[in-house]
Structure 1
Amino acid sequence: MPRTATASTANLHVAGPSTSKPIMESKLRHDAGDVSDTSEKTSSITSGNPGGSIAENEKYPENIHKCINALRNLHMEARRKEVESQVAAFRLEADTYRSLDKVWKKRAEFIAGKAVPTEQESKFSLTDKDIKPDTSPDDGQKGIPKFWMVVLNYAAHTADMIQPHDIAVLEFLKDVRIEYKDKPLGFGIAFEFAPNPFFGNTVLTRSYEYDTNLTPTQLYTSNGLMPTSTAGCKITWKEGKDVTKKSASGDGMKGSKKVDSFFDFFTPGITDLSKIGQMLAEEDSEDLMEKAEQAGVDYEIATGLRLRVVPRALLFYTGEADAEGVDDSDFSEDYSYAGDTDEESGRKQQDDSEAEDNQE
């Protein structure tokens, strides 16, 4: 069962000769990614019949063809400005996050128990009045145990990824950070773990890079800033502790079998996102299609973590974020797959089985 996300935060298209529709369609994201291969689309443009909107054996009249080319030039001008705006917005987002470096470090220290807030730091009220909180007696624990496990388990972006066998591992998660890159433009998510009995890594990462130098063909058809590649990391599981696998001995088989896990997120099935359309055109494979769809879901999850969950982690821990972990003002709460009916595409994904039905 593939990982799922209930907040639509990105567009990830896989256009190619055999896939004219996006695998996932969504809206409202200023940094929406479009992973596409458009090399097969230029022939229809140069022939004067893009998109097959006019019968194959017909041609534009010369006067209409000239007007359409003029519109294409205007379209390209608008697309360039849009991409420039998206890049500028991403850089501003990165600068803002970096400017809060002291805030994120202090937050991590409080959570881990490396720092104890002063009386002044621990006073908080949204009004001018000091309200005495209703608390239970001091239990002697340092920091906020299991903070990030609770956050990820509450946030709609990641809740469905977490399986029961992941919980014990996530209890050792002590910080989650966003790391921005300028050259090439991109971002990564770093999950820092305390020493634990499951794996030897101290940090697990997932990252994305964008293409800011789009060719005219890419610019003509894309949705703008495109994630062209992604990378995960190798988890050095300790003997018998790999939660992504389950012993198959109970089935009379030797070895182990794959099981769903939050930690699948760090092993992307496709890393060269710019070639998805080409790959699908060359290989009619159900496995490849599933990996392509998963690439889109993973990008939604990563973008949700970057824009909402990590910066606002406190609200997810306390439950002050809304019940689904998504504000209607910020995100659409559904995502759809190409081929869905209008009714299906507008329906919220309730659980993994329903999500699988919509993909089919």
Structure 2
Amino acid sequence: MADNPDNKPVETAVDIEIGDKNEESVEEVEVEEGGGTNQTGSGDFARQQVGESAFASVQNLNSGDITPQVMSNPQVLAALQDRLDGLVGKGSGYIDSLPKVVKRRIKALKNLQVKYTKTEAKFYEEVHELECKYASLYQTLYEKRKEVVTGAIEPTDSDCEWASSEDEEEDEEKELLADDLKKKVTIEEKKEEDGKEEERPNGIPEFWLTIFKNVDTLSQMVQEHDEPILIHLEDIQVKFSEPGQTMGFTLEYHFSPNDYFTNKVLTKHYTMRSEPDETDPFSFEGPEIVSCTGCTIDWKKGKNVTVKVIKKKQKHKGRGTTRTVTKTVQNDSFFNFFNPPQVPDEGEMDEDTELVLASDFEIGHFFRERIIPKAVLYFTGEAIEDEDEYEEEGEEEVILNRKSRDAEGEEGDEEDENDPDYDPSKERPQECKQQ
């Protein structure tokens, strides 16, 4: 480099040439500062210079023409990134640039799309009618399930035939037992075994409560004071609206007589809509729940778990006397599920109400589509294991991505250490913040 007695900074420039990939395509003019140290330009000044000159040349190159030297230059990459960041969220402008005759044809396609959406809505209406038809066939199976759960009937031997892995292991163990070992069983031991009566509970105890505990979404709703009530839950059924009625379904929770309320059945009705929104027809993705209605629970005196009484002491400002005031407030309980917020006929909902209803609609769908049809699999945990397998795959992917990022970070550290201009003393230590 030529001498620079005045130690004046020389502007950094990057010239990019299109040519043979083997040729040097980036020429960098170093900055000479006071003290005789040669350094590349840094800061906003260098970024501006490279951004103006380098990007103007690079944007005309095809990806195959950009040489490794260009891609390895941090200043060029920084300039490219700045420009690309500025393009995020911006349309290409292609549609706006089309001739009017083409735009006219696009409108025709949109009208066809609206007709498709309306036809799709009719399709879902017929699906709902088919669902109602098969609901009666399912109901026969659900009724028999209820009878087994409650102990109303005892299943036959043929009903109970099921080749589980545990049964197969037991059969193998039985085959391995020698006859001489069986003969060693004394008469007294036989009498003891005959004298012991196996515990024979009625039906399947706590069937639905166990399901609620097994499913995370439902277990978060169930409080400790709800469990003695849910022990009495005998069945959950779904009833679909009849053809010609507003599309929807009703969840029915059947309870045996208990000390908490007099209702035999608690209901939750969900109203659905299967038609495109006139103001936004392209948002239609099938039937959706639009509102829900609970029921009145006839609680026995002092047994309402959805409310609690709190006592507060109040002090009179003038006289200094105190008094105790009792106040009834809402208590966390699964049975708040039967008292959902109402959807306003007009106006917008507040954010909290909207979140509560969105969660309520998801739970309603979950009962209808998963819990009721596959109750025994949620009781045994098999359905939950299947769901967890998919979640674990997602978690594994996250872990792999994290490892990949950590590896990239280690490589970046190594590159810093190999950099001749890298000075670890200039690294700012991380601040320690005290709370």
TM-score, reference length from structure 2: 0.54
RMSD over aligned CA atoms reads 3.4
Counterpart of 1:342 in structure 2 is none
The one-letter code sitting in structure 2 at the alignment partner of 1:230 is: C
- In the TM superposition, what whole-angstrom CA distance separates every residue of 1:255-281 from its partner, at most 9, and x where no partner exists? 322122111111110245xx4xx522x
The one-letter code sitting in structure 1 at the alignment partner of 2:127 is: A
1:166 deviates by 1.1
Distance 2:351 2:169 in 1: 55
- Matching residue within 372, 378, 383 for 1:316: 378
The one-letter code sitting in structure 1 at the alignment partner of 2:240 is: Y
- Matching residue within 186, 189, 195 for 2:248: 186
The one-letter code sitting in structure 1 at the alignment partner of 2:383 is: A
- Matching residue within 70, 87, 91 for 2:108: 70
Distance 1:181 1:77 in 2: 26
Point out the more displaced range, 186-195 or 211-220: 211-220
1:130 deviates by 6.5
Residues 1:165 and 1:253: Cα distance change in structure 2 (over 3 Å): farther
Distance 2:119 2:105 in 1: 21
1:188 deviates by 1.0
Counterpart of 1:262 in structure 2 is 334
1:1-360 correspondence runs (5 A): 62-63=100-101, 65-125=103-163, 138-182=198-242, 183-212=245-274, 214=276, 216-217=278-279, 219-249=281-311, 253-271=325-343, 275=345, 279-280=347-348, 288-323=350-385, 328=390
1:305 deviates by 0.7
Give SS of 2:301's match: coil
Distance 1:162 1:324 in 2: 23
The one-letter code sitting in structure 2 at the alignment partner of 1:279 is: G
Distance 1:202 1:159 in 2: 23
Distance 1:265 1:126 in 2: 37
The one-letter code sitting in structure 2 at the alignment partner of 1:235 is: I
Give SS of 2:272's match: strand
2:276 touches 2:284 (CA, 8 Å); kept in 1? no
Distance 1:327 1:310 in 2: 22
- Higher Rg of the two aligned structures: 2
The one-letter code sitting in structure 1 at the alignment partner of 2:135 is: Y
Residues 1:321 and 1:220: Cα distance change in structure 2 (over 3 Å): closer
- In the TM superposition, what whole-angstrom CA distance separates every residue of 1:17-70 from its partner, at most 9, and x where no partner exists? xxxxxxxxxxxxxxxxxxxxxxxxxxxxxxxxxxxx899xx9997435413321
- In the TM superposition, what whole-angstrom CA distance separates every residue of 1:310-342 from its partner, at most 9, and x where no partner exists? 11000111122224866749xx99xxxxxxxxx
The one-letter code sitting in structure 2 at the alignment partner of 1:268 is: P
- In the TM superposition, what whole-angstrom CA distance separates every residue of 1:130-189 from its partner, at most 9, and x where no partner exists? 77599x973121101111111122123422111112111111111100111122221111
Residues 1:65 and 1:130: Cα distance change in structure 2 (over 3 Å): same
TM-score, reference length from structure 1: 0.65
- Larger relative contact order (CA 8 Å, sep ≥ 6): 1
Distance 1:225 1:152 in 2: 27
2:260 touches 2:304 (CA, 8 Å); kept in 1? yes
Residues 1:81 and 1:292: Cα distance change in structure 2 (over 3 Å): same
> Which residues of structure 2 form unaligned runs of 5+?
1-90, 174-195, 314-323, 396-435
Equivalent pairs: percent with the same residue? 27
The one-letter code sitting in structure 1 at the alignment partner of 2:123 is: S
2:117 touches 2:276 (CA, 8 Å); kept in 1? no
Structure with bigger helix share is: 2
2:124 touches 2:286 (CA, 8 Å); kept in 1? yes
Distance 1:98 1:61 in 2: 57
Residues 1:69 and 1:98: Cα distance change in structure 2 (over 3 Å): same
Point out the more displaced range, 297-306 or 253-262: 253-262
